[in-house]
Structure 1
């Protein structure tokens, strides 16, 4: 928080009146389950962004992205989407929606800062909108309900910016806790809070996230294209299914080629249904603290990502394969946390040094210096200054 205060003062010559902090999210399993409205496991991640706000005495809104060293501005009398404003549109959208709903504004100075701003568009837009919403709610004493915070943030992304936004991400950002994850039933948009048992407090097993440090854009275009292909496959399945939930589509009808889908669409649908069901199974394994079986399930999902969905890369394949070769490494899987090429590895604490030592070989082979950290979750989104807010 100190850095965003410093940057706000440097840019505008005054301290912010309100600062909101929003964590990123980490989908451990079920990253593609939205397509079939299945199940997913999502927690808060260590990445975060801050939104700092103060008043101006005119009708301008000035925006500073202190992390990317970029600036935008717009007039409150003419709030429109502009492609060239890029990240600025994520904040502008919230102001536009609130203004349309009758909120009166004076000019504003806004600073955003934090490592989450290096993430993909979907994560950055979701967190930026929610952070702006929280900050303005506090600054203007709007008394927005929990539901209104989600609705406004969601509309800011989908209606104003035409960006993908997941209600499960917003719910996780607002409800996440250290050592906890949320188990989502996406069909009914409900969730349960579960303990995530494989943190540093666990005497035997630990889950760590490995950031492969590949280019942030290396896999984004490919994954976005794959998501669109998945959407098309499930639109076709919806036509073929008579009633019931899509997530319950018989997988054997896909594998036996009973339904008329081309090979790519069949593979996509097979994977998504399998991943969703495994995420559902994983919830009970976490409750039972069954590390070996949870690790096997992680490996099954990773094999599907590689062989059916084909959305891995050589760096990720290398990191996950090394995990399977080590005694004490129970499982590894590519996760969705807004950054390309991040994986989670579940292993015994005794095996951790051996796996980390292999990261030196990774650096020699691929030229990237990977980062790793124990997964533990993060506090929920909130106003962090003034503290009483």
Structure 2
């Protein structure tokens, strides 16, 4: 905390009036299913983004990212997206969103402090948006309830950034609770926490540093026709729904689709079961059930959704080899691709005794593939909040 205060004072010559923090996050499963009103399982982790701000007498905005030693500028009245502003566009988008919803903001001096950079894909950009939302709401005394904040962020994403708006990203940074995962229901626009109580396990996030190459456009799945076809295959069971399992019924509904689309939509259907089983494993403290669901999720992301790569698959495979007594039905560790877009990161949930084995494999990975990894040990933490100082 002292570091961001000192950085802000050195940059602007005064202490901040307010400091907010928001966590990084990763999605365990279901992050590609939002369009079809499915569910996403996420975890907010101890990769905090701190945002310090102080009032200005004019309408200028000054942005300073300490770790990057970069400075950006803007004014409230002429907020525009500028490609060269990179990380600052996320902050400007939210400030724009406040104004477009009738909540005017004034000039600010803003300092960003985050050891993890937005390019890593661990939810840092979302954390920037959530953090500046708290700052603006509090600093300018805007009477915004949570739903209005989410509308503000949505407006910024849609009209300023021309990006999608993903509830699981927002909810996991805003509503997270220590020691839990968060399940987002995109159909109900709701969330709930799920305890993460696996003792003797360590969570590692690894940035494999593989250059991102989009091998196909995921937006091609997001058509009204595909949405209706998937809805036709949903079956209500008591208080929850599942997808149809009859091959005859599925083939009949998907008969109008090309092979690639059919395979990827089938993957979305299977991912629904993976999310449900992972949640059940968490709720019953059954690691074998949880791990099996996560491992299967990676397999279908690799083989059916086509978003993995040999480097990520190599790391995931090594995790399955640490315990000779384990099997695909009864895993003792699990791993899956995660991260921005098509992903270049992998999360692993390992027995404590296997952590050093994994880190040794990272050294081997670097020798084989030539990419220098970054590995972070993380724990589930609380969501965004103001910081007392």
**What is the TM-score when the length of structure 2 is the normalising length?**
0.86
Shift of 1:100: 4.0
Alignment partners' CA distance in 2, 1:112 and 1:347: 32
Query: Given that residues 35 and 272 in structure 1 are in contact (C-alpha distance below 8 angstroms), is that contact kept between their aligned partners in structure 2?
Result: no
Is 1:197 matched up with 2:192?
Answer: no
From 322, 328, 334, the equivalent of 1:326 is 322
Is 1:283 matched up with 2:279?
Answer: yes
Is 1:222 matched up with 2:197?
Answer: no
Partner deviation per Cα, 1:283-331 (whole Å, 9 max, x = no partner): 1111111112222222211111111111112221110111122215432
Matches within 5 A, 1:358-373: 358-373=361-376
Shift of 1:258: 4.7
Partner deviation per Cα, 1:8-36 (whole Å, 9 max, x = no partner): 22221222111111112211111212032
Relative distance call for 1:373 and 1:95 in structure 2 (3 A) is closer
Relative distance call for 1:318 and 1:256 in structure 2 (3 A) is farther
Query: Given that residues 234 and 244 in structure 2 are in contact (C-alpha distance below 8 angstroms), is that contact kept between their aligned partners in structure 1?
Result: no
1:23 — aligned with what? 23
Relative distance call for 1:160 and 1:120 in structure 2 (3 A) is farther
Alignment partners' CA distance in 2, 1:61 and 1:2: 23
Alignment partners' CA distance in 1, 2:350 and 2:96: 47
Alignment partners' CA distance in 1, 2:39 and 2:294: 15
Shift of 1:123: 3.7
Alignment partners' CA distance in 2, 1:161 and 1:59: 21
Is 1:250 matched up with 2:244?
Answer: yes
Query: Given that residues 19 and 135 in structure 1 are in contact (C-alpha distance below 8 angstroms), is that contact kept between their aligned partners in structure 2?
Result: yes
Question: Secondary structure at the residue paired with 1:345?
Answer: strand
Partner deviation per Cα, 1:244-297 (whole Å, 9 max, x = no partner): 759855353556785221121112111111112210122111111111222222
Question: Secondary structure at the residue paired with 1:302?
Answer: helix
Relative distance call for 1:339 and 1:179 in structure 2 (3 A) is farther
Relative distance call for 1:124 and 1:227 in structure 2 (3 A) is farther
2:222 — aligned with what? 231
Is there any run of 5+ residues in structure 1 with no aligned partner, and where? none
Relative distance call for 1:11 and 1:269 in structure 2 (3 A) is same
Alignment partners' CA distance in 1, 2:182 and 2:252: 34
Query: Given that residues 254 and 262 in structure 2 are in contact (C-alpha distance below 8 angstroms), is that contact kept between their aligned partners in structure 1?
Result: no
Alignment partners' CA distance in 1, 2:205 and 2:123: 19
Is 1:301 matched up with 2:297?
Answer: yes
Is 1:12 matched up with 2:12?
Answer: yes
Question: Secondary structure at the residue paired with 1:350?
Answer: helix
Query: Given that residues 43 and 180 in structure 1 are in contact (C-alpha distance below 8 angstroms), is that contact kept between their aligned partners in structure 2?
Result: yes
Alignment partners' CA distance in 1, 2:343 and 2:229: 34
2:206 — aligned with what? 211
- Point out which structure has higher relative CO (alpha carbons under 8 A, 6+ apart): 1
Is there any run of 5+ residues in structure 2 with no aligned partner, and where? 236-240, 327-331
2:387 — aligned with what? 384
Relative distance call for 1:65 and 1:268 in structure 2 (3 A) is same
Shift of 1:350: 3.2
The number of equivalent residue pairs is 375
Query: Given that residues 28 and 336 in structure 1 are in contact (C-alpha distance below 8 angstroms), is that contact kept between their aligned partners in structure 2?
Result: no
Deviates more, 1:2-11 or 1:37-46: 2-11
Alignment partners' CA distance in 2, 1:373 and 1:85: 27
1:40 — aligned with what? 40
Query: Given that residues 17 and 385 in structure 1 are in contact (C-alpha distance below 8 angstroms), is that contact kept between their aligned partners in structure 2?
Result: no
